Each structure stands twice: as structure tokens, then as C-alpha cells.
A and B are shown apart, each in its own frame.
Chain A
């Protein structure tokens, strides 16, 4: 089983749609969680951190379910510019600061 698993997609949605991605992680001791965004042939960039109580940043909402070991990202009112690959990222080991990345979920927002 992969440490961090995501549905690769692609998710093809029309502009204005609401779309949700899920991600599961295998290590119950994982401490920190993030969503990164990666545009085609570009480097990943931090989208948002994921907090235990859930958090929102504009049209984006992230949630964490520790009991079930999954993280979600909800995008409301999708824009064409949201088209990208969304990477679920977990800090696997408290003793090591490196992050473990999922393979990503590709989103294509269509006009």
C-alpha cells in the first residue's frame, strides 16, 4: 500500500462546479498535512495547510479525518485557472522533516 494515495483522475468539470478530492494516508502517526498544486511542467506550490478542525481559504476548503486517515479538498465555483494537479502531502515521520507526496489528482475545468 502506498503511503499516500490519491485518485489520479482526471476530473473534468464545467466552470462553476464544485469538486472534491480525497486522499488517504497509511501512517496513523502522521502529524502535518498539506495540499500542493502543480501546473503542467511546473514545480509544486503550496495551496494550503490542513488543520485538524478543517480550514477554508476562499473557494477552497480542506478537511482532515484522523480516525479514517483521509484528507479532503473541496473547490467551489471552479475556475478555468484551477486546472492543475493537486498533490496531497503528509509528514510521515515526526523525526524527519521531509514530506511524502501523493501522485496527485488532475483537475480539468472546462468552459
Chain B
């Protein structure tokens, strides 16, 4: 597609419920990232996928969080047993993989999660 697509754009859920957030990256981008941004805060790295390599999960805050990327394209971030502190905007980004240095990220519009 023309850009990174995320769904849903807004999600309100009750504490304890599971949620799934979806990201469809730019076609041809091999790297995919999830970040989250709490109100008035910076971006917090969650997880990074690159091709068929094992994902970098070092940013996931707890074992309630998991993500997968099927077929090297679409990714789903799952939060189990949601807590109020999980409320944030979840941003997905994709990029080409460069041979050195850092990738330039293109972000989706985000999924705003509110846990009541």
C-alpha cells in the first residue's frame, strides 16, 4: 500500500480483556517495528522484526505482550489481560533494511488503546 496501515484506529476495552492490534506495512519493507506512546511521553520501543530473523523482543514490557508477523508482511500485536497502564497509542513502523547504520522509519497513524 501507499503507507503503513493500522487497525483499529481506536479501541476501548475493559480491564482483563485481550486485544489485537494489526499493522500492514509498506509493500517491500522488510523491517517492521512496534512502539507505544503514552500521553505526553516519548516513544517506547516494543519489538522489531526483520525478514526471517528472530524478532528483537527486548522492549516488550511483560509476558502479556506478544507479536507475530506472518509471511513477512502483516503483523499483529496482542495484549492479554489488559491493564489500565496499557492505555497508549500503539505505533507501527516499517522500513527498508539498510546494510549499515539505522533505518529510516515510516509510521502508521497508530492504534489508540483505552483500557477502562
Chain A interface residues toward B at CB < 8 A: 4, 31-32, 34, 42-46, 49, 87, 91, 96-104
In the complex, number of A-B residue pairs with CB atoms less than 8 Å apart: 53
Check if B43 sits within 8 Å of A101, measured CB to CB: yes
B interface residue numbers (CB < 8 A to A): 31, 33, 35, 41-43, 45, 48, 50, 56, 58-59, 91, 97, 101-110
B45-A42 in contact (CB<8A):
no
Closest to B46 in A: A98
Contact B101 A46 (CB under 8 A): no
- Complex contacts, B109 vs chain A, CB 8 Å: 42-43
Given the known inter-chain contacts A43-B108, A43-B110, A87-B42, please indicate yes or no for A98 contacting B91, CB distance below 8 A. Answer: no
A34-B93 Cα distance, complex, nearest whole Å: 15
Say which residue of A98, A103, A104 sits within 8 Å of B48 (CB atoms).
A98
Cβ of A64 to closest chain B Cβ, rounded Å: 13
Is A97's CB under 8 angstroms from B97's CB? Answer: yes
A94 to chain B, nearest CB (A): 8
- A91 with B107, Cβ < 8 A, contacts A97-B50, A101-B35, A102-B42 known: no
User: In the complex, A49 Cα to B109 Cα: how many Å?
Assistant: 22
Cβ A91 vs Cβ B101 within 8 A: yes
Instruction: Report Cα–Cα, A103/B56, bound state, in Å.
Output: 22
Chain A residues, Cβ within 8 Å of B108: 43
A selection of 5 A-B contacts at a CB cut-off of 8 Å is A91-B102, A96-B58, A98-B56, A101-B35, A102-B42
Residues of B within 8 A of A101 (CB): 35, 42-43, 45
B102 near A31 (CB under 8 angstroms)? yes
Q: Give Cα distance in the complex from A91 to B101, angstroms.
A: 8
Q: Which of A31, A91, A97, A100 has the most CB of B within 10 A?
A: A97
Partner of B45, one of A32, A46, A98, A104: A98
B contact residues around A45 at 8 Å (CB): 107
Task: Identify the interface centre among B33, B43, B50, B97: most chain A CB within 10 Å of its CB.
Answer: B43
Chain B residues with CB under 8 Å of A87's CB are 42-43
